[in-house]
Chains A and B, each alone.
Chain A
């Protein structure tokens, strides 16, 4: 709290009102020169007032050109899939076909319609192969959450799908040789994703029964050989005894 000091001369005394003390006490500056150059500390109240009333620049909500162009790509990637119940139904049907058939072959076609297409479908029908057409969006939806989702790499352009209960790769390839407008891209055979070359190799493999027979013969070859070796000396002995008895 400021106290009144002795005033030596009236000329030098300067009365300063102190606002914090409710104008009750006055501070007297008595020095020769009054210091006005060095900075005075701002009081707390004044500092708070200045902080509250400080000017803030208004936010610039305009987008830069770069941001606008960048946003377009993001928006293109975030396109919302509109609900289409017909497409969902077709995808459900396609998924059922994918799960129940032993072979689903993806065929690439270029302007294949009319009598050529009908003849092609009829030839495949003889071997119990059905040819269906699904658009890429429907086929992609059908394959999306299955373990065969890699098939979406083939779903570009115009595709037809040949499916059958049992894998009938050889008849399919036979018919495709005769139709140049259609080409085989790959497919799903016996739960395995195959390329064209794999399917051609699969067609050349022997039937399951033949393979079973070959395996059985290989396994039993060792057993039959050991039994033959064991029986050989006895057979030899019996032959020799027979010869002796006949000569005698």
Chain B
């Protein structure tokens, strides 16, 4: 004796947000029922386990039927099959495209290829995000990547319009696409302390300042590729460390400004040349794709780690970088002010964001 068929269809599609989350999280129907039972829904309406099972199955089926539409969210608004109130649609889409920080941290900067997809079970084991959920998130990344790849115009805006996402989520996706495109290395042990949000912030900075789109906003891939000309120009900054006079002058200007303002002054003075070399060398090497990939690891190794071992506070860091950037303007033989500002603006905000435990 068994229920062979059991369906419930409402004119307005009924969706329980809790069950939706369980479905997104990749729970099986039975596990979801268990979670719901523990959550205490049963007491709410004198329900039994059977009722809960039947409800969960129904909802899962509905979500599966909706999934196809969620792949191109614009369709959800003008499809006829499900009558879903607009604010519900927004929630459905937003939740479907939401991701786990733990998961995204693992795939950030990796090529969104079949190869990576095969490794998802390892990632699933490591992050304890279910494989099903990993697949959904990975496919979302890939889908967004594919769609915006061929579009002109600002990246964030494109994502927001095509996938009807909130501004915040669209920015996160832009970061993911940007990282995947430039294949930034994020997986090294030294970078483990950085969260996805740290990277997303840096990506935002890079997109806004270093890409082609920062100067011209009608080119294809404008927000995805770094501005090649700019990268070339960055080589010119080398003068700051190769020219001995300039280096000394720069150091003395910075030291004058910093003296007495921080406890870490001695360390700053001692390390100035090293740190400056580090930053300028990163800039000079960015024409190499390989070095672009290592951008973040370089920042950590060449700048953040030395500072951290000298126990700079975040305020010290801020102070130092501000004066370091500004002092360069006073150097009369240094002619590359514009490039310098474009470079240091991003470096400064990235380092501020990345300088934590």
A and B together in one complex: no
Residues of A within 8 A of B (CB): none
